[in-house]
Amino acid sequence: MIAVLDTNVLLAAIITEGLCSKLLHRARAGEFSLVSCPFIIMELRRILTKKFRLTHEESTLALEPISEAISQVIEHNLKIKDICRDAADDNIIACAMAAKAEYLVTGDSDLLEIKTYKDIKIITPRDFEALFV
């Protein structure tokens, strides 16, 4: 099973011990293939440095568990436009498309409203975790 975790899920996975961190542990254990792209990683680093005021070194350390969990970082040129209100969310969908992901896991209500895009199911972390129970 291939999944893309949205930036908000990855952020929650590294700053709290909860459902999102459990999903990250599942990816690290190989229970599913976590695929990401440079856009998500750069967005995550930007949030860590600007919002949480981490230094470059601190953000690199914070990103280590994510780097270890990701099975593949996909470089792609796929452009998706005007699917979401926020253009950044279109980039997340493009990443999932390029990854041929079955699931896009997010807490973003704008993305969750879509429910599916092509063959990608857009679901909450809770619904994704339920697939493993």
- The string of pLDDT tens digits covering residues 9-44 is 999 999 999 999 999 999 999 999 999 999 999 999
User: How many Cα neighbours within 13 Å face the side chain of 133?
Assistant: 6
CATH code of the domain containing 10: 3.40.50.1010
pLDDT score at 72: 94
Reading phi first (left if > 0) and then psi (alpha if -120 to 50, else beta), residue 15 is in: alpha
Rounded Cα–Cα distance for residues 27 and 71 (Å): 8
Split into its structural domains, the chain has a count of 1
pLDDT score at 114: 92
Question: What b/e readout covers 12-35, taking b as 16+ CB neighbours within 10 angstroms?
Answer: bbbeeeebbbebbebbeeeebbbb
Query: Model-level pTM?
Result: 0.92
3-class SS of residue 6: coil
Largest CA distance in the chain: 39
pLDDT score at 83: 74
- The string of pLDDT tens digits covering residues 55-99 is 989 999 999 999 999 999 998 786 777 676 777 788 999 999 999
Q: Is the predicted pLDDT of residue 6 greater than 70, yes or no?
A: yes
Rounded Cα–Cα distance for residues 14 and 65 (Å): 8
Host domain of residue 81:
2-130
Which tops the pLDDT comparison, 105 or 81? 105
Q: Is the predicted pLDDT of residue 51 greater than 70, yes or no?
A: yes
Rounded Cα–Cα distance for residues 56 and 54 (Å): 7
Rounded Cα–Cα distance for residues 26 and 5 (Å): 12
The terminus-to-terminus CA distance of the chain in angstroms comes to: 15
